[in-house]
Homo-oligomer: A and B are copies of this chain.
Amino acid sequence: MKEVLRKHIEEIVPLTDDQFDIVFSYFKPKKLKKKDFLVKQGDSVNCEYFVVNGLVKAFYIDDEGKDHIMQFAMENWWVTDYQALLHKTPAQLDIDCLEDTKLLCITLEDKDKLCASLHKMEYFFRKKSNSGYVALQRRILSLLNNDAKERYEQFMSLYPSLYQRVSKTLIAAYLGVTRETLSRLA
């Protein structure tokens, strides 16, 4: 648990043992079972979550009851309803577990405190946020530019491990097509 987080952070910034102990003290572990919810639409959201193991999905249910998947998050991914967290508004997203999942939780306030006290961590989170931004840009380009089949192929080659663990129905909801259409893309 500790090791997973440490290794993840140290891919970007090295930390002494003491520093990592400080970092780790800001996190609270959480354990959920498959199908449990981490966030429900309408909740107020205080934390960002680091997935130690397992798999969750963050999704939006529209007026017609259809699901749209904002993101998956497996080992070493960060997830929450960022809009709700940052703007302190009620959650628009649901987040639930596709597998039994262990997480580390940090509140927005604690993250800011941690960043204020340990400059390296502010750097770490800035770089993380930058990478996330780039990943979302790539996804937008793929939505603008590519048809369903191309998006599906990109998904498989970009996230081969997710492709193994996630049903096609959910991949369809991530790619923005119906499951029937996805099924017809031989």
List the interface of chain A (C-beta within 8 A of B): 60, 62, 68, 70, 82-83, 86-87, 115-116, 119, 122-123, 125-126, 129-134, 136-141, 143-145, 176
Contacts and interface: CB of A to CB of B under 8 A. Distances in A.
B143 A86 contact: no
Chain copies in complex: 2
Given A129-B130, A130-B86, A134-B86, A143 B140 contact: yes
Contacts of A140: 70, 136, 139-140, 143
A138 B140 CA distance: 11
A174 to B, nearest CB: 8
A36 B145 CA distance: 24
Given A60-B144, A119-B119, A129-B132, 4 more contacts: A70-B141, A122-B123, A140-B140, A143-B176
Chain A contact residues: helix, strand, loop or mixed: helix
